[in-house]
């Protein structure tokens, strides 16, 4: 069991988008960077699970990249087979319905909202929203 895991996935150096030849080059850079971060974070959680035998993480805080955060599928793979009780994955508009199966014992969830009404409506949805997380 780990009491607290806190990860920073974003580079503290500011990415100067005007340093790229085109917007396409900047997007390609962000995508390559995201893929690298996703691979690293998946490897870390796999190592904790398989090599260190960690089964429970009481508090998990992840500071994700604001421009190119981890995809929901990657977050789901990271959380699989862990009993997480407190989750604060700083990703805007995190899908809560995917948490139902990978974090059924979740008791506290911090959400980061982009301001999009669709995310808010999704979280409040009776069929796919926060109601699925029975202990939150």
For a pLDDT cut of 70, what percent of the chain falls above it? Answer: 92
- Averaged pLDDT for residues 53-58: 97
Predicted confidence (pLDDT) per residue in 69-101, tens digit? 999 999 999 999 999 999 999 999 999 888 988
Question: What backbone torsions phi and psi does residue 108 show, to the nearest 5 degrees?
Answer: -140, 130
3-state secondary structure of 56: strand
Predicted confidence (pLDDT) per residue in 105-136, tens digit? 999 999 999 999 999 999 999 888 999 898 98
Cα torsion 49, 54, 60, 61: sign:
negative
Cβ atoms within 10 Å, residue 1:
9
The domain spans of the chain are: 2-11+21-132
| Residue with the larger pLDDT of the pair 46 and 23 | 46
CA dihedral 11, 12, 16, 20 (to 10 degrees): -20
CB 105 within 8 A of CB 135: yes
Both tokens of 58, joined, read 């009481």
Is pTM, for the whole model, over 0.85? yes
């Amino acid at each position: 069991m780990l009491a607290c895991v806190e990860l920073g996935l974003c580079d503290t150096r500011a990415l100067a988008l005007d340093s790229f030849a085109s917007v396409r080059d900047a997007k390609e850079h962000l995508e390559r960077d995201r893929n690298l971060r996703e691979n690293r974070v998946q490897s870390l959680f796999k190592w904790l699970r398989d090599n260190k035998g960690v089964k429970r993480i009481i508090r998990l805080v992840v500071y994700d990249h604001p421009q190119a955060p981890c995809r929901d599928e990657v977050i789901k793979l990271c959380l699989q087979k862990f009993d997480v009780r407190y989750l604060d994955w700083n990703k805007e508009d995190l899908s809560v319905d995917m948490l139902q199966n990978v974090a059924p014992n979740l008791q506290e969830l911090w959400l980061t909202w982009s301001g999009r009404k669709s995310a808010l409506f999704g979280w409040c949805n009776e069929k796919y929203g926060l109601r699925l997380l029975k202990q939150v």
